[in-house]
Amino acid sequence: MPSITRILPNLRTPASMSVAAVVWLLAACSPSHGPLLEADLILTGASVVTVDPEFRVAQGVAIREGIIIGVGSDREVLAFRGPGTRVLELEGKTVLPGLIDSHIHFLTLGRDVQRQAELTFAMSAREILDAVVELKERVGPESGEWLVGNRWDQYKYPEMVTRWQLDSVAPENPVYLNRVYRGVAVSTAVFNLIGIHDDRPETWPAWWLEDPSDFTFEDRIFRAPREVTAGGQTRVVEVPTGAFVGSRASALVTLSPPTGGFEDDVESVRHGVEEMLSLGVTGVVDPSSRMGYLMRVYQEAYNRGYMKLRMGAVLEGTFTTHDPEAIRRHFDAIKINNLGDRYLRWRGSKFYSDGGAGTRSAWVSQTFEGWEEFEGRQNLGYPVVEDNALREAQYRAAVDYGWDLHTHVAGDVAMRQAVDLYMKLMDEIRDRRPDADLRWSLIHAYLPIEEGTRVLEDMARYGIMAAANPVFQWQEGVAFAVNLGEDRMARTQPFRSYMEGGVVMTSGSDFPVTSHDPWIGIYALLTRRDQATGAVHGADETVGIADALRSYTINGAYATYDEEWKGSIEVGKVADLVVVDLPDIHLLEQDPELCFSMRDRVLLTLVDGEVRFRKPGGEL
């Protein structure tokens, strides 16, 4: 007879027996000699939010060798107590499954939080300047050293910060500030390094006074009138203020801050892991391998023991207008698929279909609001691959090598194109293999319920997932509302419609576009309130805390084929847990503003039953 120790990890209590029955069985097997299985760690006296199908709340968890062996009342889990068991009394605190960020460009996170300015919370040009000053005081740069900040959004400010203001607070340093998406703001020192000088018109490039002819709807150079003295003459001209929006506009700034290369990237991963663990995140998905480079970095971080959370998938790509045969050669050269273990896995491919709502480049069926003012002609966005036959051939190049499909789609037309092609390919695959388990997704997936392009029902019917970014509703809500209009904004990322309509929706941050703090994403799921104005866009599309947590836990595990062993607190699953200083998780639903205090409320984060983060000075 095999030992219970060996067979226990295969038990799935929701499908077989109750947790209490498992506890009773194990204890009853040897009533006079103590528990048959001795736990390494038992958490008791807690509010254990299991996120199982019934969303049960228990009191305790028993863990052995990184696996959950008991979930239930304090009495039930203490049945696993032995001479070597550590018992941690949590005194009413809440235990959750470790959170999963299902869309985070992870590589730069450590560098960002350690050495760059956080602009997420800036609500004016003055506050951007304050963040730059704070960064200078924190890192103490030498003269000529670059200062970098991230996540400005001009829609949130009465007036956008200018290079002359940046010059005033950092006269000896080039300043480079990244927009939330497709944009950059720089100081005059950056232009000087490029070789452009205000007082030397001969150094001005053609775009200095007039936009290039190849600009798209999203591209913009901010300009302002300035007195310029050259050759002894002074005149007033409209010159760049240092802020650029759009891919082509931003590319005009041809210098960017240097990084330390491969070694610096590996160290950034180490610090990024520490940061996410401190927020209760135990798993992530990186949606782009940068054509394999990131996997080399992540593998080295793994080899050095830095990968202390789970990178459930790194998507290969990103593919835009690539020739299908080139894509085939790329996958043929890799020769592998779904490679890795429970801490680092390379699977899935990523394609790009359009831009975004904040830059007015999502591929939409109805023109962006305010086109008369912004573009002067109706704007339906910027499709990357408008030709369905070409996009289908690109998809086939990945599918033929066994790679799942994941596509960046913001606008409703982009969503319709991707869903139509997904369905065609899925039908072909399932004709050959009726039991094929295809977990393909639409990334961002803003507008699934627009008249004439509606895709929600098709997504549910074919099992196409929505990889959403709830934090956008908060951090970029005002920009989205201005560009999409209030009615359409109320339907953007329709959380409740997705969940009630049978679509598996995961939640991710899309850092560095927006904040990596998952609790802000949960706030957005609960409220749909935008940061800048406080307006609620689409109150009927909010969800409760149970569904919010599912999108950050079990749904994220499902998206990477891992729901059988992680994503909830159930017997047989890995002990990836977070302990938070909160007596009842439903308090977040009653008072969502508590979400902004959760960073300080994370007390412990466990992965495989090991403490990977402990709050400094905390009581546990």
Q: What's the pLDDT band for 24 if we cut at 50, 70, 90?
A: very low
Is 189 within the bounds of a domain? yes
134 and 223 in a single domain? The answer is yes
Q: Cα(420)–Cα(459) distance, rounded to whole angstroms?
A: 10
Tell me, what's the pLDDT at 34?
56
Mean pLDDT of all residues in 281-294:
96
Residue 27 has pLDDT above 70, yes or no: no
Mean pLDDT of all residues in 578-596:
98
Tell me, what's the pLDDT at 620?
84
pLDDT per residue over 177-218, tens digit each? Answer: 999 999 999 999 999 999 999 999 999 999 999 999 999 999
Tell me, what's the pLDDT at 231?
78
Closest C-alpha among 428, 570, 434, 446 to residue 505:
446
Tell me, what's the pLDDT at 18?
42
Residue 8 has pLDDT above 60, yes or no: no
81 and 118 in a single domain? The answer is no
| Cβ neighbour number for residue 41 with a 10 Å cutoff | 20
The residues facing 467 across adjacent strands are: 443, 506
Closest C-alpha among 113, 187, 194 to residue 147:
187
Find tokens 């194990």 and name the residue: 26
Q: Which of 250, 285, 317 is the last residue of a domain?
A: 250
Q: Which of 207, 229, 250 is the last residue of a domain?
A: 250
Mean pLDDT of all residues in 468-491:
98
Q: Cα(217)–Cα(361) distance, rounded to whole angstroms?
A: 6
DSSP 98: P
| Out of 162-166, 289-293, 488-492, least confident range | 289-293
pTM, to two decimals:
0.93
Q: Which of 233, 250, 267 is the last residue of a domain?
A: 250
Q: What's the pLDDT band for 524 if we cut at 50, 70, 90?
A: very high
Residue 19 has pLDDT above 90, yes or no: no
Tell me, what's the pLDDT at 259?
86
Closest C-alpha among 359, 350, 482, 341 to residue 411:
359
Q: Cα(44)–Cα(579) distance, rounded to whole angstroms?
A: 12
Q: What's the pLDDT band for 232 if we cut at 50, 70, 90?
A: confident
- % of the chain beyond a pLDDT of 90: 91
Number of domains in the chain: 2
Q: Where are the alpha helices (DSSP H) in 463-517?
A: 471-475, 477-484, 486-489, 495-500
- % of the chain beyond a pLDDT of 70: 94
Is 105 within the bounds of a domain? no
Residue 534 has pLDDT above 90, yes or no: yes
Residue 615 has pLDDT above 90, yes or no: yes
156 and 238 in a single domain? The answer is yes
pLDDT per residue over 81-129, tens digit each? Answer: 999 999 999 999 999 999 999 999 999 999 999 999 999 999 999 999 9
Is 234 within the bounds of a domain? yes
Residue type, 23: V
pLDDT per residue over 377-406, tens digit each? Answer: 999 999 999 999 999 999 999 999 999 999
CA angle (520 as vertex; 515, 523 as ends), nearest 5: 155
Strand 183-186 to 233-245 pairing: antiparallel
116 and 246 in a single domain? The answer is yes
Is 194 within the bounds of a domain? yes
Is 489 within the bounds of a domain? no
125 and 225 in a single domain? The answer is yes
For 163-186, b/e burial (b = at least 16 CB within 10 A) is bebbbebbeebbbbbbbbbbbbbb
Residue 26 has pLDDT above 70, yes or no: no
Mean pLDDT (the chain) is 94
What domain range includes position 135?
110-250
38 and 170 in a single domain? The answer is no
Mean pLDDT of all residues in 55-80:
98
Mean pLDDT of all residues in 44-52:
98
117 and 232 in a single domain? The answer is yes
CA-based max dimension of the chain: 100
**Long-range contacts formed by 28-34: CB under 8 A, 24+ apart:** 29/4, 34/82
Beta strands (DSSP E) in 304-425 are 310-319, 339-340, 344-352, 405-409
Residue type, 95: V
| Out of 18-22, 280-284, 318-322, least confident range | 18-22
Tell me, what's the pLDDT at 35?
61
Residue 342 has pLDDT above 70, yes or no: yes
Tell me, what's the pLDDT at 228?
87
Is 537 within the bounds of a domain? no
Find tokens 């010059």 and name the residue: 167
Element (H, E) at 617: none
Which CATH number covers residue 204? Answer: 3.10.310.70
Residue 253 has pLDDT above 60, yes or no: yes
Q: What's the pLDDT band for 506 if we cut at 50, 70, 90?
A: very high
Is 218 within the bounds of a domain? yes
79 and 131 in a single domain? The answer is no
Is 545 within the bounds of a domain? no
83 and 114 in a single domain? The answer is no
573 and 610 in a single domain? The answer is yes
Which CATH number covers residue 39? Answer: 2.30.40.10
Q: Cα(348)–Cα(401) distance, rounded to whole angstroms?
A: 11
139 and 212 in a single domain? The answer is yes
138 and 234 in a single domain? The answer is yes
